[in-house]
Amino acid sequence: MLNVPSQSFPAPRSQQRVASGGRSKVPLKQGRSLMDWIRLTKSGKDLTGLKGRLIEVTEEELKKHNKKDDCWICIRGFVYNVSPYMEYHPGGEDELMRAAGSDGTELFDQNLTLLLRLECGGAVSSRCNLFLPGSSDSPASAIQVHRWVNYESMLKECLVGRMAIKPAVLKDYREEENKVLNGMLPKSQVTDTLAKEGPSYPSYDWFQTNSLVTIAIYTKQKDINLDSIIVDHQDDSFRAETIIKDFLYLIHIGLSHEVQEDFSVRVVESVGKIEIVLKKKENTSWDFLGHPLENHNSLIPRKDAEDTYMKNSYIRKNINQRRETFIFTFSPNVVGLYYRKCQLISKENVTHDTRLFCLMLPPSTHLQVPIGQHVYLKLPITGTEIVKPYTPVSGSLLSEFKEPVLPNNKYIYFLIKIYHTGLFTPELDRLQIGDFVSVSSPEGNFKISKFQELEDLFLLAAGTGFTPMVKILNYALTDIPSLRKVKLMFFNKTEDDIIWRSQLEKLAFKDKRLDVEFVLSAPVSEWNGKQGHISPALLSEFLKRNLDKSKVLVCICGPVPFTEQGVRLLQDLNFSKNEIHSFTA
Ligand code: FAD
Ligand code: NAD
């Protein structure tokens, strides 16, 4: 990926710089206002010089277009000819020229961050989060949105095409649009267009019997399991995302014939093969599997989505310490996450403000959220789709608390705290049994390999930061033979806030490897347990290794200041980076 030095961006005199009295602007020439630009883009003039064609741009080609009158910039894998836009850019030509002939993604993201600081001015109204460029009731109509924020629509007419290989490696499915899939693509077609970095190139094949169609995915990786594959089919559209390390391999096909709703998924771990067995609606022989749909047979870097979220979370932190709302327009990669509608099956109170929600996946979906990963829930709120991240949990810590436990491959549980003054959770809480909420594919960077040979596991959780610890606890106590000790320190304000307290106590009673310590920051005077906030004294006493050289993992999750402070304290206590996993998203 090409990098543009961004430290000095935006240019000292550019619009994005926050000067003491406001922002500095580069004066635009007459006839070069935002409205003039919009008029030009709608005039039908060929702004790319490519007569409407979209091309694949190599790095070498991109580098050649580095002059003012021939300036191409790559943003998130898409290349724009920004020369016609130069005079309309409020930050000035020099600012755009910083990214000439190279990847301007980082520069764009910085710019967005600064813009938000600027537009929201630090003291944020809740509407800042609802900012949706172009929507009439959004702050976009009240404040002038920087051009680059809405760059996709601003620069739509300047789109030259996609980067051929880097930074996002997408198979050019367009060339195949008119073809049908009659089995495995010739190897050269598959491999030529896939990443030259990352995992070995995956591929797929299909075969049939009278009643079944099997789609086989060859991941060429050994650490593949049922969590690694997400399948959705709706009408004739079939979609299978395979998570292969930090990549996602997508099969996306319009099936040639109808299939039944349910299907099965098998994984042959030893060879990294996944088989999805579809049941034909009619027992006829299929001549071909179907036609390729968007991004079919692509290997897409997953990390992008996480990075985008990290950047958003950075933005959030700067503009608003508390809210964590995603608006699609801000996060193209999050837009790319696939959502399916899940039905609310049950909702029960766990504490005075925390509920256990059980959602049922559609029968035509296979999705198992890996340990330590989260999904996004999406709901329309006053006409805007709002998404927030949540970490699925198991239905309980102990089976006796939930009999019978529903099969976990069809149901997803969430422990969600309802903030009565919050944006998303009150709406979620208003859902009735039988209502639907959209659930995304999983995200997150927690790797189960962290548990290999693990001896001591320490969990530091605050409030709903307990959620990732639920599956970790279940997994650690049942699947890690080397494990000697698990210690959970659970920080809450009051006793009433402790999620699943009695389950935790029972589990600790049953399994002597588990110790649980509750720490309250606002206890009643009768509380005789630990109290206070996370501190060196609390941690140094709690985090005792079993043996000097035992393999240790410390997981930490909670409010951002809690997690940040905790990580600093852990480092002071000489825990290495590899021994700490913080859930920050
Ligand atoms: P928000 O609108 O974000 O408000 C939250 C609180 O802050 C409210 O009390 C509100 O009044 C206050 N507030 C908001 N803005 C301001 C402001 N400007 N000034 C002062 N106060 C303000 N939560 C769970 O319950 N369960 C989970 O499993 C879970 N998993 C998560 C996983 C990840 C990766 C992350 C990042 C977060 C997770 N969260 C989880 C938190 C969740 O995403 C939401 O942040 C949370 O549900 C609050 O959403 P909300 O829209 O209802 O509240
Ligand atoms: P809360 O406000 O009830 O606080 C719980 C405890 O956290 C407090 O008792 C205190 O010990 C500690 N704490 C709170 N603020 C602190 C501060 N400023 N400095 C040090 N310690 C502090 O917590 P909550 O309302 O349940 O919030 C849970 C948080 O966890 C949310 O911010 C949520 O986004 C986050 N969360 C993150 C993930 C994730 O990243 N994967 C998952 C779940 C929850």
Nearest alpha-carbon partner for 171 in 180, 179, 162: 162
The ligand 1 atom at the shortest distance from the C-alpha of residue 386 is 51
Q: Which of 220, 223, 76 is nearest to 152 (CA)?
A: 76
Confidence of residue 247 (pLDDT cuts 50, 70, 90): confident
User: Is the predicted pLDDT of residue 573 greater than 70, yes or no?
Assistant: yes
Q: What does the alpha-carbon distance between residue 372 and residue 581 come to, in Å, rounded to a whole number?
A: 10
Q: What atom of ligand 2 comes closest to residue 558's alpha carbon?
A: 30
Contact between 557 and 461 under an 8 Å Cβ cutoff? The reply is yes
Q: Which residues pair with 252 in a beta bridge?
A: 239
Q: State how far the Cα of 146 lies from the Cα of 40, in Å rounded to an integer.
A: 18
Listed in sequence order, the residues at least 6 apart from 469 whose beta carbon sits closer than 8 Å to its beta carbon are 459, 461, 488, 555, 557
Which residue is closest in CA terms to ligand 2's atom 4?
A: 463
Q: List the residue whose alpha carbon is closest to atom 31 of ligand 2.
A: 559
| Percent of the chain at pLDDT exceeding 90 | 48
Q: Highest mean pLDDT range out of 76-85, 114-123, 154-163, 573-582?
A: 573-582
Mean pLDDT on 130-146: 30
Comparing 72-86, 487-501, 549-563, the range with the smallest average pLDDT is 72-86
Which residue has the CA at smallest separation from atom 16 of ligand 2?
A: 562
What residue ranges in 14-124 does DSSP mark as E strands? 18-19, 22-23, 55-57, 66-67, 70-75, 78-81, 102-103
The phi, psi pair for 320, rounded to 5°, reads -160, 110
Tell me how far the alpha carbon of residue 515 lies from the centroid of ligand 2, in angstroms: 21
Helix (H, G, I), strand (E, B) or coil at 470: helix
Taking the CA of 555 as reference, the closest ligand is 2
Please name the residue whose Cα sits nearest to atom 26 of ligand 2: 463
Is 461 near ligand 2, meaning CB less than 6 Å away? no
- pLDDT confidence of residue 408: 56
Q: Where are the alpha helices (DSSP H) in 410-547?
A: 425-430, 467-479, 501-510, 536-542
Q: At CA 117, angle to CA 113 and CA 121, rounded to 5?
A: 170
Cis omega (within 30 of 0) for bond into 404: yes
Nearest residue CA, atom 25 of ligand 1?
A: 416
- Tell me, what's the pLDDT at 202? 86
Give the ligand 2 atom nearest the CA of 521: 9
Percent of the chain with pLDDT over 70: 74
**Kindly report the CA angle at 187 between 182 and 193, in degrees rounded to 5?**
105
Q: Is the CB of 462 under 6 A from ligand 2?
A: yes
- Does the pLDDT of residue 481 top 70, yes or no? yes
The secondary element (H helix, E strand) that includes residue 192 is: helix 187-193
Higher pLDDT, 501 or 120: 501
Tell how far the Cα of 572 is from the centroid of ligand 2, in angstroms: 21
**Of 245-254, 294-303, 382-391, 512-521, where does mean pLDDT reach its minimum?**
294-303
Ligand 1 pocket test target in 384, 418, 424, 581 with most atoms within 8 Å of CB: 424
The residue whose CA has the least distance to atom 17 of ligand 1 is: 322
Burial level of 300, CB count in 10 A (0-12/13-18/19+)?
Answer: buried
At 152, is the pLDDT very low, low, confident or very high (cuts 50, 70, 90)? Answer: low
The phi-psi region of residue 454 (left if phi > 0; otherwise alpha if psi is between -120 and 50; otherwise beta) is beta
Query: Exposed, middle or buried, 174 (CB in 10 Å: 0-12/13-18/19+)?
Result: exposed
Chain segment 83-98, per-residue pLDDT in tens: 999 998 877 888 889 9
Distance CA 382, CA 167 (A): 36
Distance (Å) from CA 368 to ligand 1 centroid: 24
What band does 248 get if pLDDT is binned at 50, 70 and 90?
A: confident
What is the structure's pLDDT at 156?
79
Which range has the worst mean pLDDT, 94-103, 179-188, 458-467, 559-568?
179-188
378 close to 437: Cβ distance less than 8 angstroms: yes
Q: Which tens digit of pLDDT belongs to each residue from 388-426?
A: 999 999 988 876 555 444 555 789 999 999 999 999 999
Q: Does the structure show a pLDDT above 50 at 193?
A: no
Between residues 248 and 198, the one the model is more confident about? 248
User: Is the pLDDT confidence value at 24 over 50?
Assistant: no
Q: Atom 43 of ligand 1 has which residue's CA nearest to it?
A: 389
pLDDT surpasses 50 at 516: yes
Q: Give, in order, the Cα–Cα distances in Å from 160 to each of 108, 134, 425, 455.
A: 18, 24, 42, 54
**Cis amide linkage into residue 10, ω under 30° from 0:** yes
**pTM to 2 decimals?**
0.70
Convert the pLDDT of each residue in 325-384 to its tens digit.
322 223 334 336 899 999 999 999 999 999 999 999 999 999 999 999 999 999 998 888
**CA neighbor of 253 nearest in space, from 333, 343, 167, 181:** 181
| 558 C-beta closer than 6 A to ligand 2 | yes
State the average pLDDT over residues 181-200.
42
Rounded average pLDDT over 489-501: 98
From 120, 311, 312, 322, the mutation candidate for ligand 1 (largest count of ligand atoms within 8 A of CB) is: 322
What's the pLDDT score for residue 180? 55
Residue 258 clears pLDDT 70, i.e. is over it: yes
Count each helix (H run) and each strand (E run) in the chain, helices first: 14, 31
Q: Three-class SS of residue 120?
A: helix
| Ligand 1 first shell, C-beta below 6 A | 124, 320, 322-324, 374, 388-391, 414-417, 419, 421-425, 464, 467, 585
Point out the ligand nearest to the CA of residue 418. 1
Instruction: Identify which ligand lies nearest to the alpha carbon of 559.
Output: 2
Per-residue pLDDT, 550: 86
Tell me the average pLDDT of the chain: 77
Please spell the DSSP secondary structure of 298-365, one letter per residue. Answer: EEEESHHHHHHHHHHHHHHHHH-SS---B-GGG-HHHHTS-EEEEEEEEEEESSSSEEEEEEE--TTE
Long-range contacts of 360-364 (CB under 8 A, 24+ apart): 360/410, 360/411, 361/410, 361/411, 361/412, 361/439, 362/232, 362/234, 363/261, 363/262, 363/410, 364/232, 364/233, 364/234, 364/261, 364/262, 364/263
Ligand 2 and 492: CB distance under 6 A = yes
Residue 303 has pLDDT above 90, yes or no: no
pLDDT grade, residue 150 (50/70/90)? low
User: Any idea what DSSP says for residue 448?
Assistant: G
